[in-house]
Amino acid sequence: APLRDAAAPSLEEGWEPLRRANAPPDAIDLLSKVLVFAPQKRLTPLECLAHPFFDSLRSSSLRLPDSRPLPPLFALTAEEVAWGRELDVLHRVLPSQARVALRDGTPVTSANVSPLTSRGPSPGFSVQG
């Protein structure tokens, strides 16, 4: 049978070593949603960032090991902001202080940040070239 007709392999048994190693349940859940055979069923990059596994990065009190504040983690491009709105995940990706800034019209985007890459073009955007 052609590959496209093949049943998607199951990774369920493959998670057991992670469970035995006491991997955080959120990490196992995220991996199980990213390592999916069918591309259309995988999480997009922004959906990954919205996953609870990354919730601690949204805390305003989180610091680097040397007590310095984290670098700007949520400087999204204009395309990423539009994509996040279209996917309805922007409110879960951005920390509360960045959501307030975005709502108040303060830019949270950065022109010098490389855009996230995905399995294809972002929804609503066409490929130029």
* 109 touches 81 (CB < 8 A): yes
Percent of the chain having pLDDT more than 90? 15
- Model confidence band, residue 108 (pLDDT cutoffs 50, 70, 90): low
Of 65 and 102, the one with more pLDDT: 65
Q: Which two tokens stand for residue 94?
A: 């951005």
- Model confidence band, residue 104 (pLDDT cutoffs 50, 70, 90): low
Eight-state DSSP code of residue 53: G
Regarding pTM above 0.85, the answer is no
Residue closest to 45 by CA, chosen among 128, 102, 117, 108: 117
Of 111 and 73, the one with more pLDDT: 73
| pLDDT score at 129 | 36
Q: Please check the confidence at residue 7 and state whether its pLDDT lies above 90.
A: no
What confidence tens digit (pLDDT) does each residue in 48-65 have? 999 999 998 888 888 999
What confidence tens digit (pLDDT) does each residue in 8-42 have? 445 556 667 777 778 888 988 998 899 888 889 99
Over residues 63-85, the mean pLDDT reads 86
Eight-state DSSP code of residue 54: G
Of 80 and 129, the one with more pLDDT: 80
